[in-house]
Every structure is written in structure tokens, then in C-alpha cells.
Homo-oligomer: A and B are copies of this chain.
Amino acid sequence: MSVMEDVYPSRVGDRVRLIERADPVIYGTRTQPGPLTAEQLDFYEVNGFVVLPSLFQPDEIARLNAELRSLADSPTIGELDETITEPGSGHVRSIFRIHQLNEMYGRLARDERLAGAARQILSSEVYMHQSRVNLKPGFAGKEFYWHSDFETWHMEDGMPRMRALSISLALTENYPFNGPLMLMPGSHKTYISCVGETPANHYKESLKKQEYGVPDHESLTVLTDRGGIVAPTGPAGTAVLFDCNTMHGSNSNITPYPRSNVFFVYNSVENKLQNPFCGLTPRPEHIASRQRTETLAPLPTS
């Protein structure tokens, strides 16, 4: 591949293109050790995600929730660049770079059930491309439109290839009706090259509402005609691992049931960021790590 070639162009023209994935889904020879079974790896390869029900126990989740509450209630948290607050109420909605801001979440990021699964799928050491906790209150959870994370990470952060994955660990129960993560099975095999150019400082808005790099209705219909939609449900402690190119989104949540989760993006150390492919300045460090790319090695056994 020449330096000039971009196998995953987007936001460059006025026509949508469906581009076949040029990268493996499961890297390596499947002989790498890790917590996932052969069946789970097979499912992930075909569908672009796998659900691990109750991967964490209730007492572990209780501790993570208590820590998160005290973090969100601390008087200075709102002053951090890493913190996104609700307009109006000032309530904390997300905290980025949580695995470096908080020790308990730092240990969680290196937990073998998560980082080990990432290493197993990506067949290399991994580092954290982005981490955050999301606190979505009941009654007023907003929808988040369909998107491939990779399209954004490639265009706006300069992630070269599809060798990253996300893990969403539920801190509250996911019901069908409290705005759970929805995924399009099989969508990870197709890259949707979106129309339109990326405006400067787009990231400030895009964390609240996606407007650029938005897939079109026709392409989304192609993907759902192929594989439908799934919206995994399950108790707090359930994790969803999904490929960086799996199309996903969520509906609004008018129910009283809040939805909180930890969101970790593991990238292969072989896939570190280059210049953004859209030609703009990179997004800030807490959205996309460039300097802080320490390998997430296993925790020492105590």
C-alpha cells in the first residue's frame, strides 16, 4: 500500500459508496490465548459483536457504580475537559479518559476479561484509544443516530485500519425500552463512505449529536436487509464487545430506568494513529489518545 492510498475514504464526494472491508475481523491464527471461547470468536467474526452476559458480578458492579457516583458528585469534576455535562442541569453525562483519571477504572481497563478479550481478537498488545463512562438518566435519554466508530476514528483521528474494538460494560440493567445499544449484525464487513466534508472542530458538537460522517438511509437499509438489528438486553455486568466498524446507535429513553455504562476502545499497538484522513487537526488527547498509548498489560496477580 502506498503512502497516498486510503482504503477507507469518506466525506470526500457527493456520492455514497459501500466499500468491502479490507482487514481481518479476528486477527492472527486463533491460537492466541484469551478468555473467549471458539464459539464466541466465531459469532464475533460473523456478526461483528458478541454479548457476554453477566461478565462482571453484582458486587463488582456495585463498587464501580459507587465509585462513579462519588466521582460525578465531586465538586471539581465539571471543570475538567474530560467531563461532559448536561446543558441546564449541569449533571455529569460522560467522563472521558476515565481509566487514567480513576484507579478503579484503570484496573478495570486492564481486567483480563476485557483487555484479554481485546488482545485475543486483535492478536497483539493493545492500548486505550478512548475510554469513558456514560450516565444516561431516566426520562430524558436522547437518541444517538447510526454510525460506524471506525469512520469517525479514521477520518477525524487518523486510525489507519480496522484493528480496534469497543467494549460496552453495562452498569445498569439493559431493557428493550431504555435506549439500549442497537447493532446491525454483519455490518462490520462493509465500510460506508459518507458524503460531505468535515467542518473544523466538529468533535465539540459530534459528541452530542452526529451530523457529519452520517450514513445515508439507503445504505442503512441495505445493511438491515442483510442482517437486521439486535438490541442486547441483560443485567448490569453484561458486556458487549463490538468491532470498530459495526454499525450501531440507540433510541431515546423516556422510561424511568437510567442507563449507565463504561465504554473502552482497545486499539492494537500495530494500529496507532496517523494524521486524520480528513485533513483537519486531530481531536484532543482525551477523545483520541496519541501520547498516552501505554500498553495495557495484564495486572500482576496478587
Hey, which bits of chain A sit against chain B, CB under 8 A?
Answer: 138-139, 143, 145-146, 175-177, 179, 182, 217, 220-221, 224, 229, 231, 249-257
Contact = CB atoms under 8 A, between A and B. Distances in A.
A138 to B, nearest CB: 8
B182 A139 contact: no
Nearest to A223: B256
Contacts of A217: 138-139, 256
Contact of A139 (B220, B229, B252, B255): B220
B176 A146 contact: no
A187 B75 CA distance: 39
26 contacts: A138-B217, A143-B143, A143-B251, A143-B252, A143-B254, A146-B254, A175-B229, A176-B176, A176-B177, A177-B182, A177-B229, A177-B231, A177-B251, A179-B251, A182-B255, A217-B256, A220-B256, A221-B256, A224-B255, A224-B256, A224-B257, A229-B255, A251-B253, A251-B254, A251-B255, A252-B252
Number of copies of chain A assembled together = 2
Nearest to A176: B176
Q: State the majority secondary structure of interface residues on A.
A: loop
A221 B229 CA distance: 29
Given A139-B217, A143-B251, 18 more contacts: A143-B254, A145-B254, A176-B176, A176-B231, A177-B229, A177-B251, A182-B254, A217-B256, A221-B256, A224-B255, A224-B257, A249-B254, A250-B254, A251-B251, A251-B252, A251-B253, A251-B255, A252-B252
A194 to B, nearest CB: 15
Nearest to A182: B177
A250 B251 CA distance: 10
Contacts of A182: 177, 254-255
Contacts of A139: 217, 220
Which of A175, A177, A179, A221: most chain B CB closer than 10 A? A177
A139 B176 CA distance: 18
Contacts of A221: 256
A249 B250 CA distance: 17
Nearest to A142: B252
A235 B250 CA distance: 22
Contacts of A224: 255-257
A302 to B, nearest CB: 41
A154 to B, nearest CB: 22
Nearest to A225: B256
A229 B176 CA distance: 10
A255 B224 CA distance: 9
A264 B65 CA distance: 45
Contacts of A253: 251
Contacts of A251: 143, 177, 179, 251-255
A211 to B, nearest CB: 14
